[in-house]
Amino acid sequence: MNFYNLITWVLILGVFYVFMIVPEKKRQKKMREMMESLNIGDKILTRGGIYGTISSMDGDRIVIESGPDATRIEMAKSAVLTVISNDAGKNEEENKVEEKDE
């Protein structure tokens, strides 16, 4: 009887690992890659709901400009929720379109 209890607990822990731990690790990896790919000029949305454009970066800190007066706000990179657009990527796409037209 103890053997079956052990098997049951191992299966429960295995299912828990697959459904809870693995997706969280994937989410953390995706977030780490996003933070590493941040560049000056990227338009971002912060966890606090502030939209802005990255104006400078220093280690784990960034400075964004937000609003019509270009208010500068310093914050941690980890405060970035998502990248709205990437100006560098946009310029590359525009160049590809121009090359196709020629």
pLDDT tens digits, one per residue of 64-80: 999 999 899 999 999 99
pLDDT of residue 97: 46
Residue 62 burial (10 A CB sphere; 0-12, 13-18, 19+): buried
pLDDT of residue 3: 86
Q: Model-level pTM greater than 0.75?
A: no
- Dihedrals φ, ψ of 38, to 5°? -65, 140
Reference 34, options 21, 45, 19, 20; nearest CA is: 45
In CATH, what number does 39-102 get? 2.30.30.30
Evaluate if residue 93 carries a pLDDT over 80. no
Evaluate if residue 100 carries a pLDDT over 80. no
